[in-house]
Chain A
Amino acid sequence: MSDRPAASLRLDSPLRLISSLRLDSPARAAGAVLLLAAVAGPLWLTDFWLQAGLFAMAAAVGAIGLTLLVGVAGQLSLGHAFFLGVGAYTYTLLAGEREDGMSGFGLPPVAALLAAAAVAGAAGAAFSPIAGRLRGIYLGLASLGLVFLGRHVWLNAEDVTGGYNGRTVEAFAVPGFSFSDEDPDYLAVLGTPFGELHRLWYLFLAVALLAAYCGRGIKAGRAGRAMAGVRDGETAAASVGIRVARVKATAFTVSSVYAGVAGALTALAFGRVAPDSFALTVSIDYLVMIVLGGAGSIAGASAGAVFVSVLPLMLVQYSAHLPFLSAPGSGGVDAATLSRFVYGVAIVAVLIFLRGGLAGALRHLGIRTARAGRPSRPARPAERSTPKESAP
């Protein structure tokens, strides 16, 4: 992605952005309400919720990228955390200053953010020769290798990454305005003082909306149709002139660009990057987000991202109000444990009871037709299920 996204965002009317969020009419109304709430949020949200919102929006960007790869193009990836890490460390390295024995290039943060997207995309493209040749869980497991190799690099390249303890992240800024507590030192909107969290909120919201807008455009356009074609049958896709290996590579690259941006945002939200933020569990969390939301659905991926990132924070924050919770280490169920249980149960329950995730469930409610779910293969298959001529 070049700097065009930002340009087109300004050109597009806000209405277009809103309309780009629509699912169908009731959902469109719900989307408008949500967007309004998101815009007004910083006026009344506490710092805790602002912080949670930042994590959720960063995760939404990454989840949209992953759902394009896994849901739309049908390529299983367990390597998303690696590309998130590439984005996060690229931003930190390029935007950071050279100090305390750390490398840094001191570039403008905007350039560093774009570079994070580009470098992560390049890493995805570099991996795509493997991605183009493998399919299904082979691809998933090969990409799992990336996460461990990446972690090894991050632990060892100490002058870039700060090793195990990580390094701090340069605040985001555009000329004349910093998304931190300084420059301007005091900013208030409708009487609410806008500090770092408030300012970042709007940056993250804009990026997340742009990510959703672009995601929908990709999915609905020629590239998205080619990806879906590859997912639903590589032979048939090739028969209409789709270059299967190239489409897979494109999907990997696009999803890595998203991951790069999401990684940089995550770094900004934490204010610090460390290898643990990009472990295998993070890859898995992202997969869970898109499966909970319904693979291939942009809105579903966003909803899944909010659920997965906010749930644990919320349970920990409000554990004092939940009488059945006990203190950590006392042997009972503490808040962190409870959030893991809820998380695990949610995964199992959604997969067993809600086909197609939340988005699928909503769709089914909306249509209310008599058909019994999505057929997994064409009709009258039994007559034709054996390839007759290839097994003489």
Chain B
Amino acid sequence: MSYLLTQLVNGVSLGLVLGLIAVGFVVVFKSTGVLNFAHGSVLLLGAYLVARLHPELGFWGALAAGVAGAALVAALINTLLVRRVAEHDPGVLAILTIGVDILLLTELTRQIGNDVLDIGAPWGASVVGAAGVSLPASRAIAAGTAVVLFAALGALAARTDWGLAMRAAAADPDTASLMGIRLSRTSAVGWGLAGALAAVAGVFLTSYPTPGVEPGVSVVAFAAIPAWVLGGFDSVPGAVAGGLVIGVAQALAIGYESELHFLGGGFGEVVPYAVMVLVLLLRPHGLFGQKEAIRV
């Protein structure tokens, strides 16, 4: 029982971190219509900056620098590249971000080399436990941070002018510009926000029990794509829920791998994709998505 509970708690924590990444996909998609394949390398950039800078700035300073750096780079990708592409075809824009991803990832791989960099988080390798469930502190803090961030995002979106402008621009960019909302700004903010969230997720993905910052971390962002798809593409709460579904499913598959041996070794890694294909078969527009209206 406590084993199951441990797996569930682990899954929820992982799911919330995936949710942070998936929300980034949602925000970028809603503000610019782009499937952002560079999201993973932006995440890696954030984690890399924290790992490199924490000896000098201390962890919290480095965290601020990493989040700011990832946000800035993401916003620049949008402003300097995505907005320059004349053909506003989702496929073309997605491939553009693939090009950006290759460039960013190649440079980061060159910088990191064969090392595994320590993220330098103050919670280190400590473990917290309650009710027979023990959990690495990083996972508990990750879950708490994600919840706080989601709540803050929700409040910002609902209460502030800034949130109103973002929501209006996402709902109908043409009309929003007739309200004097500057789309260049809302889209840059959207990308920057996605980058910042990715950097935070990157810090948790490279904390204990994972070894540290290495180029492979960027691939984890792909596991958030199924979460995003399950959430229905344009819904922030949907992305969080999708992250939870994927995180719990993955944690259970890994936790009970010996019982699931008939599915093959390493099944936990493909669980997100298996869930995604299954859900798309049953509900082509995700768990929370609305059917697109076909207009003639």
Contact = CB atoms under 8 A, between A and B. Distances in A.
A contacts B directly (C-beta below 8 A): yes
Interface of A: 70, 76, 129-130, 133-134, 136-138, 140-142, 144-146, 148-149, 151-153, 155-156, 235, 280, 284, 287-288, 291, 295, 329, 331, 333, 337, 340-341, 343-348, 351-352, 355, 373, 376, 387, 390
Contact of A156 (B84, B90, B226, B264): B264
A351 B273 contact: no
A343 B105 CA distance: 12
Interface string B272-287: 1110110011001100
A347 B296 contact: no
A305 to B, nearest CB: 15
Given A141-B229, A148-B273, A331 B91 contact: no
A152 B296 contact: no
Contacts of A288: 95, 98-99
B270 A149 contact: yes
B102 A343 contact: yes
A281 B87 CA distance: 24
B273 A137 contact: no
Nearest to A147: B273
A134 B107 CA distance: 36
Given A280-B222, A352-B81, A390-B295, A373 B86 contact: yes
Nearest to B223: A148
A347 B99 contact: yes
B113 interface: yes
A145 B273 contact: yes
B171 to A, nearest CB: 14
6 contacts: A137-B94, A141-B35, A152-B266, A153-B264, A291-B92, A340-B102
B265 interface: yes
Contacts of A295: 91
Interface string B176-212: 0000000000000000000000000000000000000
B274 A149 contact: yes
A329 B102 contact: no
A235 B296 contact: yes
A138 B285 CA distance: 8
B216 to A, nearest CB: 13
A373 B295 CA distance: 27
